[in-house]
């Protein structure tokens, strides 16, 4: 109950565009046992669970009682499958890349669903959190590195040597390539979270301005319709970004896997 | 929305004597100009009916009940601050507008595309079914051409039976001929053998006689006897001649 009041007060008094990204406990249990154990369901945890639930629903709808002719849901899944399959085939390898398709598909649909959940009013954008996106990106890059070592052994380090590089420049280029390889950890996660975060912040900042304009009087109310139209356009753009960022994420992941498999 | 606000402002001005009706001359002329414009206006009755139809509910009573309860709940929520209108409302409005536009415009387009895809799959399945039916029909027709196969088989069987019989007879005759030829050969060989044996016996007999004669000739007594016989014979001949 206390949490509910806090939420109401939060919407009433908190107008900072960053407060929407705060991770809070929705339900928590503080027990005086096991060293004051704190068990909680946070808002990000709740929305990720919701995402998993939506995915389950979508997949159940798509099965369409295993009929030969699918419904609209299964057609959407099929087209998504075909799109991601072409990404995997083009980016990784038509022969050896197929094995990574389930991973790429799961990654795409997870990011897309969470991006879209963030687009629902009064909800929470899980993918705007660096803790989530960095967890994904670090895991992916680490996994790709392990894959590279498993496949090529120490020869994997040849990834850091650009083809046709003069011997004198080799130490410098290897250092640069190594830093660039490590930067993949950051860049992959940062790109997704920064896009979603900035989009939501922009919407809230513009909405704050527009709200202030529209509540200043009748004339201003009509004047406020102009920035409102812009915000609607930005919202449409955000919807596009939700798809594009999920696609970019999986394209880059496929590229990293390809690097680990083929070494340039 | 704008005209409603303007009309309410005009109504308020008429209700309040403190605001002179001439304070809003521009609005009055604008409304009058709009009402008398040459644009063919929609029939007010049908317009009203379409607005009523747009409301949720099955009949007029439920529509008005839903509308009034929704209004009452909205007023209650707003007055008790269960829902607070703030900048988040603006964001919600914008996002819902985008979702609504997506559903309104993208939905039918997607549905059409999905139905097209389904139709494509359905056409492939139907054509495959038609092809299969055609193949089965062709096969049936092919088989039908061989419907007289029983009679043909029967006659063929009779021919083959006759052939087998003739073959058996031919074989029997062949065997007989072979046996006769063999018997002839054996008999011929017997004849040859017998003749050879006879010839040899005669040869041996001649040789024995010659040898005996020669042996007899070596005996002087026999020679003497022969000589005497010969002389006697000669004498007999001579005496006979004389």
| pLDDT score of A14 | 52
Residue A67's SS3 state is: coil
Looking at chain B, which residue has its C-alpha nearest residue A234?
B94
Predicted confidence (pLDDT) at residue B37 exceeds the cutoff of 60: no
Predicted confidence (pLDDT) at residue B14 exceeds the cutoff of 50: no
Looking at chain B, which residue has its C-alpha nearest residue A75?
B114
Number of domains in chain B: 1
pLDDT in tens, B192-223: 999 999 999 999 999 999 998 888 888 888 88
Would B144 be classed as within a structural domain?
no
Would B127 be classed as within a structural domain?
no
Is the pTM higher than 0.90?
Answer: no
B126-140 burial by CB neighbour count: b if 16+ within 10 A, else e?
eeeeeeeeeeeeeee
| pLDDT score of B38 | 52
Do B117 and A75 make contact, defined as CB atoms within 8 angstroms? yes
Residue B42's SS3 state is: coil
pLDDT in tens, A192-206: 999 999 999 999 999
Pick from B87, B99, B100, B104 the residue to mutate for testing the A interface (most A CBs within 10 Å). B87
CA angle B138, B143, B149 (to 5 degrees): 160
First-residue to last-residue Cα distance in chain B? 198
Do A232 and B98 make contact, defined as CB atoms within 8 angstroms? yes
* Range B105-129 average pLDDT: 93
| pLDDT score of B11 | 45
**Chains A & B: contacts with CB separation below 8 Å:** 81
Would B195 be classed as within a structural domain?
no
* Range A12-28 average pLDDT: 73
Q: Residues of B numbered 107-136 whose beta carbons fall under 8 angstroms of chain A's beta carbons: which are they?
A: 110-111, 113-114, 117-118, 121-122, 125
Of A122, A207, A234, the CB nearest to B87: A207
Q: Is the dihedral of CA A162, A165, A171, A176 positive or negative?
A: negative
The rounded distance, in Å, linking the Cα atoms of A202 and A208 is 10
| pLDDT score of A96 | 83
Looking at chain A, which residue has its C-alpha nearest residue B94?
A232
Structural domain containing residue B224 = 210-240
The interface predicted TM-score (ipTM) is 0.82
Q: Is the dihedral of CA A215, A216, A220, A223 positive or negative?
A: negative
Predicted confidence (pLDDT) at residue B30 exceeds the cutoff of 50: no
């Amino acid at each position: 109950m206390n949490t509910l009041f806090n939420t109401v007060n939060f919407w009433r008094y908190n107008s900072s565009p960053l407060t929407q990204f705060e991770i809070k406990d929705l339900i928590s249990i503080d027990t005086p046992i096991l060293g004051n154990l704190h068990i909680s369901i946070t808002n990000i945890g709740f929305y990720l669970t919701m995402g998993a639930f939506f995915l389950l629903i979508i997949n159940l709808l798509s099965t369409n009682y295993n009929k030969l002719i699918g419904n609209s849901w299964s057609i959407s899944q099929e087209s998504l499958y075909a799109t991601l399959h072409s990404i995997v085939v083009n980016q990784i390898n038509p022969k050896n890349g197929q094995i990574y398709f389930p991973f790429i598909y799961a990654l795409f649909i997870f990011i897309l669903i969470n991006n879209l959940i963030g687009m629902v009013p009064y909800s929470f954008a899980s993918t705007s959190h660096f803790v989530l996106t960095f967890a994904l990106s670090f895991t992916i890059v680490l996994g790709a590195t392990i894959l590279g070592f498993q496949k090529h052994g120490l020869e994997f380090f040849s990834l850091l040597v650009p083809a046709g590089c003069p011997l004198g420049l080799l130490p410098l280029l290897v250092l640069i390539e190594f830093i660039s390889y490590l930067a993949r950890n950051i860049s992959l996660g940062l790109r997704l979270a920064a896009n979603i975060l900035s989009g939501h912040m922009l919407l809230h900042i513009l909405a704050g301005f527009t709200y202030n304009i529209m509540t200043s009087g009748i004339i201003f109310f009509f004047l406020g319709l102009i920035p409102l139209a812009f915000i609607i356009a930005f919202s449409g753009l955000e919807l596009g970004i939700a798809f594009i960022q999920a696609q970019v994420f999986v394209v880059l992941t496929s590229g990293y896997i390809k690097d680990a498999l083929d070494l340039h | 929305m704008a005209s409603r606000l303007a009309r309410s402002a005009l109504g308020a001005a008429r209700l309040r004597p403190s605001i002179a009706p001439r304070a809003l001359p521009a609005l009055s002329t604008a409304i009058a100009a709009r009402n008398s414009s040459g644009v063919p206006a929609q029939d007010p009755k049908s317009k009203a009916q379409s607005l009523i139809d747009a409301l949720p509910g099955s009949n007029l009573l439920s529509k008005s009940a839903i509308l009034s309860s929704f209004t009452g709940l909205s007023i209650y929520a707003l007055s008790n601050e269960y829902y607070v209108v703030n900048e988040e409302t603006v964001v919600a409005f914008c996002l819902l507008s985008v979702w609504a536009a997506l559903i309104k415009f993208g939905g039918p387009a997607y549905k059409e595309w999905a139905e097209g895809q389904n139709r494509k799959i359905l056409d492939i399945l139907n054509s495959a079914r038609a092809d299969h039916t055609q193949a089965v029909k062709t096969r049936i027709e092919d088989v039908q051409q061989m419907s007289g196969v029983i009679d043909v088989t029967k006659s063929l069987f009779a021919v083959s039976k006759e052939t087998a019989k003739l073959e058996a007879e031919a074989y029997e005759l062949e065997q007989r001929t072979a046996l006769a030829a063999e018997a002839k050969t054996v008999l011929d060989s017997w004849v040859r053998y017998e003749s050879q044996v006879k010839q040899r016996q005669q040869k041996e007999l001649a040789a024995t006689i010659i040898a005996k004669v020669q042996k007899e000739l070596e005996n002087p007594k026999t020679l003497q006897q022969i000589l005497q016989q010969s002389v006697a014979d000669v004498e007999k001949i001579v005496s006979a001649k004389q």
